[in-house]
Amino acid sequence: MLLQDRVVVVSGVGPGLGRAIAVQAAKAGADVVLASRTESRLTEVAKEIAEVGRRAVVVPTDINDEAAVTNLVETATSAFGRVDTLVNNAFAIPPLADLAVVDLDQVRAGFETNVLAALRLTRLFVPALTETKGSVVMINSAVLRHSRRTFGPYKMAKSSLLALAQSLATELGPKGIRVNSVAPGYIWADNLKWYFNYLAQQRGITPEEVYAETASTIDLRKLPEPDEIADAVVFFASPLARAITGACLDVNCGEYHH
């Protein structure tokens, strides 16, 4: 029970990693504030959290809307009287195109959601996190570790998010607030399963063969699952990481070393 009676706010709660972070935090003893645009998903996750004996508050939120984000902060603090950890998990995949030809307005829109929205949300939670000597966890990506074609806009946004986390760690450290990042590699959840099924159909092989080919290049010969990545978030939110800030922890089963 690493997070016993703490309060964790998770943005971008969907069926994959966001849900796993919220549920694993609850299993570690936390009450959870759930935020995303789709209320039906939030309600489903809230039921799971209730089943493990913890409380959940559902707050439909568009993190690009300042009024909605302000409401999220006010609802979280009034519901539980405290906030111990903010997990910035919400994101939008920028256009997958070479930097030489990509539409700059689309790149700009990606920065709005992936970087500036995380900054806005974090700033609004600073007063509450100062009271609890709390923490912030930014969900980043293994795109930090490679420069493959068409991933340039995505890498730009996530690299900026890492710089944001590191700078906030320095700025907020004197208040007792820690800021860290988790960078997942593949996430073996619904979206990736669908993609592997698609690749299998295109090549006339099974999805299991696509998985095996992909895993064969990774040290642990497996792809990370949402709960495994969520456990790294729980670690950063817990007292076990009380002397860690400005760090980025790769959770990729050894796909990349950093």
CATH of the domain at 152: 3.40.50.720
Angstrom distance (rounded) from CA 228 to CA 20: 9
Tell which residue, 156, 163, 155, has the closest CA to residue 138: 163
Instruction: Determine the length of the chain.
Output: 258
Domain match, 158 and 97 both: yes
Count of domains forming the chain: 2
- The predicted pLDDT at position 243 comes to 98
Domain match, 42 and 108 both: yes
Domain match, 123 and 174 both: yes
- The predicted pLDDT at position 93 comes to 85
Domain match, 213 and 180 both: no
Domain match, 203 and 122 both: no
Angstrom distance (rounded) from CA 225 to CA 110: 25
Q: What is the pTM of this model?
A: 0.95
Angstrom distance (rounded) from CA 227 to CA 125: 25
Domain match, 64 and 157 both: yes
Tell which residue, 143, 26, 136, 148, has the closest CA to residue 85: 136
- In the chain (258 residues long), the average pLDDT of successive 10-residue segments reads 97 94 98 95 97 97 95 97 97 91 95 96 98 98 95 96 98 98 95 94 96 97 97 98 98 96
Residue range of the domain that includes 206 = 188-223
Cα dihedral across residues 192, 197, 203, 205: positive or negative? positive
- The predicted pLDDT at position 15 comes to 87
In a domain, 84, yes or no: yes
Owner of token pair 């959601």: 113
In a domain, 176, yes or no: yes
Domain match, 149 and 209 both: no
Active site residue 198: no
- The predicted pLDDT at position 182 comes to 98
- The predicted pLDDT at position 218 comes to 97
Choosing from 154, 195, 198, 211, which is the catalytic residue?
154
Domain match, 107 and 214 both: no
Contacts of 14 (CB under 8 A, 6+ apart): 36, 38, 41
- The predicted pLDDT at position 94 comes to 86
